[in-house]
Amino acid sequence: MILNEQVANKLKTLLSSLPSWKSLTNSQFVQHLAIFMGWTVEDANFKIERARQEAFIGTALNRSSLVAHAEDREYLPRKPKPSEGTVLFTNAGPRPVLLKRGREFVSDAQLPYTLGLKLLVPAQSKVAALVTQYGKTSILHTVSEEKPFYEILIDKALTPKVMALEVWVDSGDGFRKWEYSRLLTNAYRDSFVWDEFYHVSDQIGIRFGNGTFGKIPPQGAQVRIDIKYTDGDTLLLERQYLYPLEEIVDVAGVPASLNIEVETTIQNGQAQESTEEMRRNLHYWSVYNERLVWDNDYEYFIRRRFPEVVFVRAWGEEEAERLWGPKLEHINKIWICAYAPREGIVQDVMNAIADVPMLCRNFQWYNPEHVSFTLRLTARVLSDKVLSEVDEDVRAALMRAYGRDSLYRRDKVLVSEIYECIQSTGHFEKETGAWFEAVPEGHFEANLIYQMVSLDLDNSQIQIAYLT
């Protein structure tokens, strides 16, 4: 780096060679002028180095720089995932109440919640149903000119909340739904398709075709973008209440007496992909780019779309022949096996894969087979420890690493990692003499590709006592 002292000395040398400045070389004025020039050059040099730093994914600090890298690579950040839970509908009226799927409610915090299924609540009865924390809105846009790759950007404030999009276009004969086609793949000049992109301004955008790959919407056409949005990581506790956005009536059209109370905590949502998560994914995106070829491609794709998935496997006809023998129906078939601690993951995963344009692929869901192992643990700790706290910490650490529903679950069960997990609780420092011995028993290794191994803590033997 160029230091300000170097610049100051260089300036004095240059001025001393000029007759009109020679007598002022050692003056206070020239001294301060040299210091000012030195600081200016050093500041400019620092800014150049920072700009160079932002040009690389691994060293960029500003989110805007990473988003620019993302747009260059046609990368789409993972969208937020809504919180889910069940609510209890209590009908105190004399007639049944029918609620349509997609009916919206609101909490005291003014967050929208949506009913997942059509629901009938009989008179004087209670019915529990699943609700998801998301709302719906629409954007209307008039196409200003007919041109290739026409783009529409979604508001920057709304972008981090967008979880799903649908696009409808009215060219004069009513609104027609246009289909999403990633990178306009397998699209023709008359295909009613659109693509999604993430703009450098941190905004989601949609892009239409160029007349060769996808149809160009005509000037004056109306575009309606239906958006589902969520606040992601939210929490609504049990015994809280929801309120309908519109009046609820019973089957006779009379205002209903319906009470809506949270039965199980509405939680487990996730925010939009963070800056650091984007940085990691960008390193692999150019190779992957939603081209599902290898088994790891499917696993990466599913985990990125659904972060709540704790186990996922994918295999094709070669692995299928080893499992079930050669069969004609195995040709061009891909089996998907995944587990997440929530309902509906099967349909969500299969729908997501179906959206990726691929030829000659038939997808088959396969339910994971849960196998478990137990642990025989004998431990001795110092007398200044509280045995119940040590036991609780050890169990929590084991469940975090090997629990069926843990997001931090390890795919393989290794004895060395079990010891490392227990050691991380901080209760067994070597210099204190505290010790433990852990022996896994049962199915702690998957024999088949679709087997998911987890710890059966209830039937494990954990004996913790004081050193004698």
Per-residue pLDDT band at 411 (split at 50, 70, 90): confident
Return the closest-CA partner of residue 204 out of 219, 225, 221, 186. 225
For the record, the structure tokens of 395 come out as: 């169990």
The 3-state DSSP composition of the chain as helix, strand, coil percent (nearest 5) reads 30, 30, 40
* pLDDT score, position 288: 60
Question: Count of alpha carbons within 13 Å of 316, Cβ hemisphere only?
Answer: 13
Averaged pLDDT of the chain: 88
Q: Which residues contact 412 (CB under 8 A, 6 or more apart)?
A: 445
With 50 as the cut, is the pLDDT of residue 2 above it?
A: no
With 90 as the cut, is the pLDDT of residue 63 above it?
A: no
Q: What's the farthest any 2 CA atoms get from each other in the chain?
A: 106
Residue that wins the pLDDT comparison between 340 and 290? 340
- What are the tens digits of pLDDT across the range 79-123? 999 999 999 999 998 999 999 999 999 999 999 999 988 999 999
Strand partners, 51: none
With 60 as the cut, is the pLDDT of residue 11 above it?
A: yes
Using DSSP's 3-state secondary structure scheme, residue 388 falls into helix
DSSP letter string, 10-51: HHHHHHHTSHHHHTTTTSHHHHHHHHHHHHHHHHHHHHHHHH
- What are the tens digits of pLDDT across the range 158-168? 999 999 999 99
Residue type, 388: S
Task: Give the orientation angle of helix 275-288 with respect to helix 63-72, to 10 degrees.
Answer: 20
* pLDDT score, position 1: 40
- Report the C-alpha gap between 304 and 292 in whole angstroms: 13
Residue given tokens 């609101």 in the structure block: 106
- Report the C-alpha gap between 69 and 73 in whole angstroms: 6
Please provide the distance, in angstroms rounded to a whole number, between the alpha carbons at the two ends of the chain.
63
* pLDDT score, position 399: 94
pTM of the model: 0.64
With 80 as the cut, is the pLDDT of residue 391 above it?
A: yes
208 neighbors 215 (Cβ within 8 angstroms): yes
- What are the tens digits of pLDDT across the range 356-382? 766 557 889 999 999 999 999 999 999
Using alpha carbons, list the distances in angstroms from residue 2 to 8, 40, 45.
11, 11, 7
